[in-house]
């Protein structure tokens, strides 16, 4: 048994299990949320309320989780959070009313998002090539999105959260076996010693370049967050059933794979600013097609091409930008603050978007998102950020 455990520890299989089932789990609790709640008789504004409460709780706790991770390490903090997610999934199923459902779902949301910066960072800290590890996240999310539609249509909506418990247990098994290289933040803190003053949150909130970058990410993540919430229901409103919509979205997620697998070919060669411009531009095209409610074939093509690729490139660019402009000892905290900004942007965009959908339908809501992402694109053009190509995170 000891020999088997030794062979499993830090094996490629451990990273596959962690990335695959973390992302399957993420899709199970979130991909079909709008369809799940609307199917229970709630309105689009109720969907917005649920997402907003979950995002608000994640925004408040994200810096705390990041700080705890920097202080106590990835393993104890994240394994504890994953265990609580399993309990909260039971809470969603047995919730007697909407408010208990929202509370349980919010706990899942804040803990899964709280673990996300660490999970993403581990792909650059494992003994394996970034693309060979991170691609399982995309495969997992695509499988989870497809699985969520199948479960919703053919078994029962609540079965989504029962399945979530089993996939999280497999994720825990994978995470338990990983031993990534010592993160820069931990290594730098060790080298600093007790006598040298270590950087604090104040160093981040007084970093003007980082604050400007946070504003850009709020705009980008607000738009992609609202699109993630309402795109399944939008496709259903165009005449597709839930399983067909989930198939489209799972195929769209798989189109991230080339960008991940070949990340070592371009991520350390293309400057940070160009990467961000590409991401914002693709999302702008996506919102324009949705906003003007073009024919369904065009909508599906743009969904495939412009929904997930800019998001995954932004995730990788985010690690590169934060690594470029943030002190090495505050890397996880910096990534956590970006994630908190995602929660803030999601709160605003989902609330405004949900009310627009209830009042006027989906195209006006996507027109609002188009304006937001266009403002962000202009902001990126004026963003002065080092290229970051010297960091070699993906090579």
254 or 376, higher pLDDT? 376
Pairwise CA distance, residues 354 & 368, whole Å = 11
What whole-number percentage of the chain has pLDDT above 90?
A: 33
pLDDT score of 281: 96
* Mean pLDDT, all residues of the chain: 85
Tokens 């089993």 correspond to 166
**Mean pLDDT of all residues in 8-33:** 90
pLDDT score of 184: 47
Pairwise CA distance, residues 228 & 93, whole Å = 22
Give, in order, the Cα–Cα distances in Å from 327 to each of 114, 147, 277: 20, 40, 24
Domain extent listing, the chain:
12-179+199-381
Residue 194 predicted with pLDDT over 60: no
pLDDT score of 300: 93
Name the fold adopted by 12-179+199-381. Answer: Growth Hormone; Chain: A; (1.20.1250)
User: Tokens in use for 42?
Assistant: 């709630």
Find out whether 253 and 142 touch, Cβ atoms under 8 Å.
Answer: yes
DSSP 267: T
Band (pLDDT 50/70/90 cuts) for residue 189 is very low
Residue 390 predicted with pLDDT over 60: yes
For the stretch 336-381, pLDDT in tens is 788 778 778 878 887 888 889 888 999 999 999 999 999 999 999 9
pLDDT score of 325: 83
Band (pLDDT 50/70/90 cuts) for residue 188 is very low
**Mean pLDDT of all residues in 21-47:** 84
- Burial code (b: 16+ CB inside 10 Å, e: under 16) for 82-92 equals beebbebbebb
**Mean pLDDT of all residues in 49-68:** 79
pTM of the model as a whole? 0.73
* Number of Cβ within a 10 Å radius of residue 311: 21
For the stretch 279-333, pLDDT in tens is 999 999 999 999 998 999 999 999 999 998 999 999 899 888 888 887 777 777 7
**Count, residues in the chain:** 395
Pairwise CA distance, residues 230 & 224, whole Å = 10
Residue 226 predicted with pLDDT over 60: yes
Find out whether 137 and 171 touch, Cβ atoms under 8 Å.
Answer: no
Band (pLDDT 50/70/90 cuts) for residue 217 is very high
CA-angle at 9, arms to 5 and 10, nearest 5°? 165
Band (pLDDT 50/70/90 cuts) for residue 201 is low
165 or 184, higher pLDDT? 165
pLDDT score of 264: 83
For the stretch 98-132, pLDDT in tens is 888 888 988 998 899 888 878 877 877 788 888 88
Pairwise CA distance, residues 20 & 256, whole Å = 14
Pairwise CA distance, residues 213 & 207, whole Å = 10
* Number of Cβ within a 10 Å radius of residue 198: 14
- Using CA atoms in the order 101, 104, 108, 111, what is the torsion angle rounded to 10 degrees? 140
pLDDT score of 357: 87
């Amino acid at each position: 048994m000891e020999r088997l455990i030794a062979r499993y520890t830090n094996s490629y299989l451990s990273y596959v299990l962690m990335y695959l089932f973390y992302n399957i789990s993420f899709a199970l609790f979130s991909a079909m949320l709008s369809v799940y709640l609307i199917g229970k008789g709630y309105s689009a504004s109720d969907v917005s309320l649920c997402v907003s409460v979950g995002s608000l709780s994640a925004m408040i706790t994200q810096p705390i989780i990041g700080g705890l991770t920097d202080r106590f390490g990835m393993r104890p903090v994240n394994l504890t959070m994953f265990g609580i997610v399993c309990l909260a999934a039971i809470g969603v199923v047995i919730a007697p009313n909407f408010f208990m459902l929202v509370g349980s779902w919010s706990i899942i949301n804040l803990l899964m998002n709280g673990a996300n910066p660490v999970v993403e960072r581990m792909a650059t800290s494992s003994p394996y090539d970034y693309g060979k590890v991170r691609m399982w996240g995309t495969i997992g999310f695509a499988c989870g999105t497809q699985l969520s539609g199948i479960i919703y249509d053919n078994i029962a909506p609540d079965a989504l959260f029962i399945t979530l418990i089993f996939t999280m247990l497999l994720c825990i098994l994978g995470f338990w076996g990983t031993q990534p290289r010592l993160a820069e933040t931990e290594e730098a803190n060790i080298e600093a010693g007790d006598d040298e003053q270590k950087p604090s949150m104040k160093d981040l909130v007084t970093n003007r370049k980082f604050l400007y970058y946070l504003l850009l990410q709020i705009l980008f993540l607000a738009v992609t967050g609202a699109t993630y919430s309402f795109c399944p229901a939008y496709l259903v409103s165009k005449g597709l059933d839930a399983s067909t919509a989930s198939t489209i979205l799972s195929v769209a997620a798989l189109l991230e794979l080339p960008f991940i697998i070949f990340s070592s070919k371009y991520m350390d060669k293309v400057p940070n600013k160009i990467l961000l411009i590409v991401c914002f531009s693709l999302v702008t095209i996506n919102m324009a097609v949705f906003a003007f409610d073009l024919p369904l074939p065009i909508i599906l093509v743009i969904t495939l091409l412009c929904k997930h690729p800019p998001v995954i490139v932004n995730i990788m660019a985010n690690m590169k930008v934060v690594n470029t402009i943030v002190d090495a000892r505050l890397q996880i905290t910096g990534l956590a603050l970006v994630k908190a900004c995602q929660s803030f942007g999601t709160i605003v965009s989902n609330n405004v978007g949900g009310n627009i959908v209830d009042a006027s339908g989906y195209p006006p809501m996507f027109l609002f998102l188009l304006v937001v992402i266009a403002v962000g694109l202009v902001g990126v053009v004026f963003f002065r950020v080092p290229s970051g190509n010297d960091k070699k995170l993906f090579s």
